[in-house]
Chain A
Amino acid sequence: MNKIVFGKYLPLNSPIHHLDPRAKILAMLVMLVAVFMPAGWYGYIVIAIILSIVTMIAKIKFSYIYRSFKPMMMMVIFLLIINILSFKEGVLLLDLGFLTVYSNALFQTFYIAVRLILMIMITTLLTFTTKPLDLTLGIEYVLGPFTRFGLPTHEIAMIISIALRFIPTIIEETMRIMNSQKSRGVDFEEGKLKEKVMAIVSLIVPLFSVAFQRADELANAMEARGYVPGEERTRYKQLKYTKNDFILLAGSFLVLAMVIVLAFVI
């Protein structure tokens, strides 16, 4: 459980860490759009190289990025099976009689896997280098224009920030309850179906009970400190764009433009 890195913040000191969260969120959105363009291999290679450079500037070891791919492996394998069963074009690679594998199935899976990897790389780069609170603040600003259409941006940002804030707490509680139940002889890894179900129940019930308790306490603490949803609030921390933020935004739009050219013009 401690091995989960996806969504974590890595407290390092790098130019990327100091960028404005709004700029980072916008750049992430632009890059995600770029990944969705059918730009072909050249496009993806360029995006991968640029992301690797950003990773290096952010002083993040590639092994952490790699670790966040791991949960995705199951998905890729599943995809591969579906593709093998459905794609029957290209070169015949393997013929087992009941099962035939064509090159296009592998090719398609690889293509989607590369896109997934790039998307995960983009989002983990954001969470690795941005403090949860800054992220919330950034989200609130980015959503700002939608206030006009009645979107409760402040509330949404508050909900996201509380959710982010509680992820580590909930993970901690989960670990603690798991440990308590392991001490009582629960085996979370092995066991028959009935034992497995019991193991999950022994984890879920206390977890819900704790989560509701925590939520209740938090609500009381917020009310006691005069929090009123929808009320005008001032901020201690003011966001300011710097030169680097513009470089990041310009860079990401440049990538998007390049990918569009690759996809639709050439």
Chain B
Amino acid sequence: MPIEFKELSYVYDEGMPFAHHALNKIDLAIEEGIVTAIVGKTGSGKSTMIEHLNALLLPSEGSLKILDHTIIAKEKNTNLKALRQKVGLVFQFSEYQLFEETIIKDVSFGPKNFGASEEEAVLKAKEALKLVGLDESYYERSPLNLSGGQKRRVAIAGILAMDPSIIVLDEPTAGLDPKGASEMMSIFKTLNKDYQKTIILVTHDNELVYDFADEVVLLDGGEVKAKLKCEDFFSDQTLIDTYKIVLPKIVALRNMLKEKGFKGLDEVRDIEELVERVVDFE
């Protein structure tokens, strides 16, 4: 397992009267090469959990294994920079991290920090920008006067240019329109399928979860409540009732059809195909 949480707890403002237990004895393993979605309501600890993945937060208790790094609570942890190169973390509203005069400079900032030469860094930046769909005409423009969606693409390119093997995304589609969100997600799909990147995606949009994730981890009150294959997650009735999970439209429709007596629709993910099956039924 490339990522393993072992009894990991995290307390904000430890020792203060307003100390807050954000994570409680997390035990979790995340597989390589797949897309794992982390879901749960606001305040359930999703952001706190993923900030551990590149050691921005260090565990208050327990330990965490990421690739060949092990981080243990209350021990001196070294070589965090090497870890940060391998785990690219894209923050919620990542557009705020832009600061250089030109887009190409901003995107090549990451690789340069990790020791790439100027030429290498620019090369990687160009590749990353192409991946997020920004062509040469953008290279010399200022990142600060782009539209919100474009800024976010630049910010994501800035992480991709570091060539991490694990990419962690915190609400990458927050504030984007459905079309923008879907385009954004296809970028990550490509990264997973064509570049074999491990993707960890935090979101509260279950449509996106259903369309893109292989595995789903449910957090609630700082605890892992479930870790299931995507299809199993959305058909686990107890889980859905207990945590009031909003079903993706197609799953909800399938369930309704099933109630009306249609059979053999399980795992049909495409609306057209569903329609065909229903028409052909009898």
Residues of A within 8 A of B (CB): 2, 5, 10-12, 63-64, 173, 176-177, 179-187, 201-202, 205-206, 209-210
**Contact status B109-A206, CB under 8 Å:** no
Asked whether A185 and B99 contact (CB < 8 A) given A179-B51, A179-B91, the answer is: no
Residues of B within 8 A of A (CB): 12-13, 15-18, 51, 54, 56, 81, 84-85, 88-89, 91, 94, 96-99, 109-110, 113-114, 144, 158-159, 162
**Contact status B91-A176, CB under 8 Å:** yes
Give A180 to B84 CA distance when docked, in angstroms: 11
Q: CB-nearest residue of chain B relative to A201?
A: B99
Asked whether A180 and B91 contact (CB < 8 A) given A2-B12, A210-B96, the answer is: yes
Give A179 to B89 CA distance when docked, in angstroms: 9
**Contact status A184-B81, CB under 8 Å:** no
**Contact status A185-B81, CB under 8 Å:** yes
Q: CB-nearest residue of chain A relative to B15?
A: A63
**Contact status B84-A182, CB under 8 Å:** yes
**Chain A contact residues, majority secondary structure:** helix
CB-CB < 8 A to A183: which residues of B?
Answer: 54, 56, 84, 88-89, 91, 159
Known pairs A12-B17, A176-B91, A210-B96 / 10 extra A-B pairs, C-beta < 8 Å: A177-B97, A179-B56, A179-B91, A184-B109, A184-B113, A185-B85, A185-B110, A187-B113, A202-B109, A205-B99
Number of A-B contacts (CB under 8 A): 62
Name A180's contact: one of B15, B85, B96 (CB within 8 Å): B96
24 residue pairs A–B, Cβ–Cβ below 8 Å? A5-B16, A11-B17, A12-B17, A63-B15, A173-B96, A177-B96, A177-B97, A179-B91, A180-B91, A180-B97, A182-B56, A182-B84, A183-B54, A183-B84, A183-B159, A184-B97, A184-B109, A184-B162, A185-B81, A185-B110, A185-B113, A187-B81, A202-B109, A206-B98
Q: CB-nearest residue of chain A relative to B87?
A: A183
Q: CB-nearest residue of chain A relative to B13?
A: A2
CB-CB < 8 A to B51: which residues of A?
Answer: 179
Q: How far is the CB of B118 from chain A (nearest CB, A)?
A: 14
